[in-house]
Structure 1
């Protein structure tokens, strides 16, 4: 039997598509961190297990959701992801394997309307399906991951991921994730300066566009490389800012 866990915050444009794709699961658990749109009301159309909490960061929040799950298998989804019928069947078959503790699933992400096959975005295997008793989330406030004890295999059909709908969302996420990433590095004792931030941004662009061949995805590939570079640049620039602010206190 399967528990699906999802965390949300102002995901009204995505959440119905996500939850509708897993309404076949045995239970759906949603943890919302104070949405100001109608995300919570939309979630209640699919499950009565909708909880509103504070926001401790991605890893701790997903661990909270995991601790509310009661079935043997858990599928963790983001609100902007969905499961196809083919992946549903593959998941149901995979859960019959008694010697496997977790499964990595490829993720096919779209950027401003285009499904990306290059730039490091495909096949982008993510560990999302696992036995509840053998897995837990890391404590990272951003870029969290699932830690599973035991044998892990891979599935073939992808999770469909609407990563960025438009450029407004790109800019919002670049700002949000660069701030979270800077805080994470700061807590780990890392430091930065302006030349370092510039170098990180330049290298991220080169790696995304040329080494990982984002240019093969046309205009969106170039846009992706630029936004990745901006995210890296601002992360290290904000890290520098955190050190300056802390030094002046």
Structure 2
């Protein structure tokens, strides 16, 4: 089997990190953790699992993950978030793939937990992500948020689910989405993107219709509705913040 490095970025993840590492430890040959200033027991916990820990001020999600990948000793890397864990089926599929790789990267179906249940439809599942890859053939983009792995030669797919089990309160989930839209709006402003009222209203509506109706989010009941409604609302917030950036910019012009 190919040598495998488990790679994570963390900040104040002590409540979640243990189950994540437990689910993957038997698969991997080393654990790499890049931490951006934890004040809880994250670092001590990582070191108890034998992780190599590097401290780095947060660079944005894409750059931070690229740094973590570069620190791995092995070319094959498994990139997880602290609130994720492998199912036994997925762990077995990873082991089989690494015994004789047929692709340079592999997509994994992530199952998101929200309002106390794992979603099965909408944008909650299957939330396909490339997480297992040969860094000589694939790597994270430089995006500060909504980063993803690019593999020019294409990716295979693995059986089993990656459970996303943040178990966070609604208040903290909303705070996180608010931070993400700050980053997104700033990035769009730096790119010179502008939006009008049509985009401001149309993007949230299109998102809701896509995930709630076409992707059958309604089958997840109240949890599915809330997950998609919140995502649609923050699509509106992102573009509203972008419009505010331009308003402030234009007001500063002489």
Q: Offset of 1:164 from its aligned partner?
A: 5.5
Contact 2:62 2:144 in 1 (8 A): yes
User: Alignment RMSD, CA only?
Assistant: 1.7
Distance, in Å, in 1 between the alignment partners of 2:228 and 2:75 is: 40
Contact 1:193 1:237 in 2 (8 A): no
Distance, in Å, in 2 between the alignment partners of 1:48 and 1:123 is: 30
Cross-structure match for 1:70? 73
Q: Does 1:158 align with 2:156?
A: no
Q: Offset of 1:55 from its aligned partner?
A: 1.1
User: What is the TM-score of this pair, normalised by structure 1?
Assistant: 0.93
For residue 8 of structure 1, the aligned residue among 10, 13, 36 is: 10
Q: How does 1:128-207 map to 2 (within 5 A)?
A: 128-163=131-166, 165-194=168-197, 196-207=199-210
Encode CA deviations 1:118-168: one digit per residue, 9 max, x unaligned: 112221221111112222211100111112243521111111112563311
For residue 44 of structure 2, the aligned residue among 34, 37, 41 is: 41
Indicate the SS of the match to 2:160: coil
Q: Offset of 1:193 from its aligned partner?
A: 4.1
**Using a 3 Å threshold, how does the CA distance of structure 1 residues 110 and 73 change in structure 2: closer, same or farther?**
same
Distance, in Å, in 2 between the alignment partners of 1:213 and 1:109 is: 15
Q: How many residues are matched?
A: 249
* Farther-moved stretch of structure 1 (160-169 vs 191-200): 191-200
Q: Does 1:106 align with 2:109?
A: yes
* Farther-moved stretch of structure 1 (211-220 vs 97-106): 97-106
**Using a 3 Å threshold, how does the CA distance of structure 1 residues 203 and 69 change in structure 2: closer, same or farther?**
same
Cross-structure match for 1:238? 241
User: What is the TM-score of this pair, normalised by structure 2?
Assistant: 0.91
Indicate the SS of the match to 1:158: strand
Q: Offset of 1:87 from its aligned partner?
A: 1.5
Indicate the SS of the match to 1:54: coil
Q: Offset of 1:46 from its aligned partner?
A: 1.2
**Using a 3 Å threshold, how does the CA distance of structure 1 residues 196 and 98 change in structure 2: closer, same or farther?**
closer
Q: Any unmatched runs of 5+ in structure 1?
A: none
Distance, in Å, in 1 between the alignment partners of 2:153 and 2:231 is: 34
Q: Offset of 1:187 from its aligned partner?
A: 2.2
**Using a 3 Å threshold, how does the CA distance of structure 1 residues 98 and 167 change in structure 2: closer, same or farther?**
closer
Cross-structure match for 1:118? 121
